[in-house]
Amino acid sequence: MFKPTRKIRFSVALILVTLLSACASSPTGRSQMILKSDEELAQEGAREFAKIRAEAPLVTDNATIDYIACVTNAIVGVMEGEWVDLNWELAIIDEKTVNAFVLPGGKISVYRGILDVAKNQDQLAAVIGHEVAHVTARHANERASRSVVTGVGVEVAAVILGGGHSGYTKTAYDTLSAGAALGIFLPFNRSQESEADIIGIEYMAKAGFDPRESVTLWKNMAGNNEKEPPEWLSTHPSGSNRINGLIAQYPKVLVMYNDARAQGKNPQCQQ
């Protein structure tokens, strides 16, 4: 029987100490593991964003640019603390894909096709708020950190299960990697997506956008996707779960929304 060497046991102990020292909390209070530098990831995000702006077909219609920028500026305008001074940037990709994503460092990319399901400024604010939330919740850092640790864990386990023989080790590694994808990465990503929904709906409410329109957005999304994969095989929660999660936030975010309106926050972003 293969037994872990003293060196491996020491390495695992060192990893555990590192993990314990890297514990943090997300804006919703969820426990996080942060091992990467925000600055390092921001630099990587800036490099990738520069490639997008250089290589992707970008929207040149001023009306569309002004509309999406108006909503984005309103959302970014409610940032607090360290996020106020972040160099937020926006790229609008001229493709019909219904999608949006964010890179570390506040680099937001929106596909023109999102406007086919985000029918008004409030629904678009739900999209932008969600993407901004990924940044302020440090989800990119968390994913990068989790990938490092999961890779180490899988490699160590594969050596033990494979008995030190290269052929068996590869088979064990492949099997464990598949298990890690289904059992670790996907549920982990769903928790981030759900958290971004919760934080994002707060941002849109604080900016004066109607948070109830986030539910309408996801109903539109559901109508646009004829068949979605089972939730356990997806990196995102199912449409019905997202909608229920957003509705559960109404008592809190409607107060924020009414307060924002009372303070004169009434966005007028027109497509």
In a domain, 252, yes or no: yes
Q: State how far the Cα of 198 lies from the Cα of 16, in Å rounded to an integer.
A: 30
Distances from the Cα of 212 to the Cα of 149, 218, 237, angstroms: 38, 11, 19
- In this structure, what token pair is assigned to residue 254? 């409607």
- In this structure, what token pair is assigned to residue 225? 């996707």
Give Cβ neighbours of residue 201 (< 8 Å, ≥ 6 apart): 126, 129, 211, 214, 246, 249, 253
The pLDDT of residue 138 is 87
Q: State how far the Cα of 228 lies from the Cα of 240, in Å rounded to an integer.
A: 11
In a domain, 79, yes or no: yes
In a domain, 267, yes or no: no
State CA 177 to chain mean position distance.
22
Contact 143/124 with Cβ under 8 angstroms?
Answer: no
The pLDDT of residue 180 is 55
Q: State how far the Cα of 195 lies from the Cα of 190, in Å rounded to an integer.
A: 8
In 22-138, alpha helices (H): 38-55, 62-76, 121-136
In a domain, 271, yes or no: no
In a domain, 194, yes or no: yes
Tell me how many domains the chain contains: 1
The pLDDT of residue 261 is 98
**Catalytic: 142?**
no
Of 131, 142, 193, 202, catalytic: 131
In a domain, 268, yes or no: no
In a domain, 13, yes or no: no
- In this structure, what token pair is assigned to residue 259? 């307060």
CA atoms within 13 Å, Cβ hemisphere of 252: 12
pLDDT along the chain (271 residues), means of 10: 45 42 64 71 89 94 97 96 92 92 90 95 97 89 64 48 46 54 53 90 98 94 64 56 92 98 96 82
For 93, the enclosing helix (H) or strand (E) is: strand 89-93
In a domain, 269, yes or no: no
**DSSP designation for 226:** S
Domain with 207, as residue range(s), is 24-262
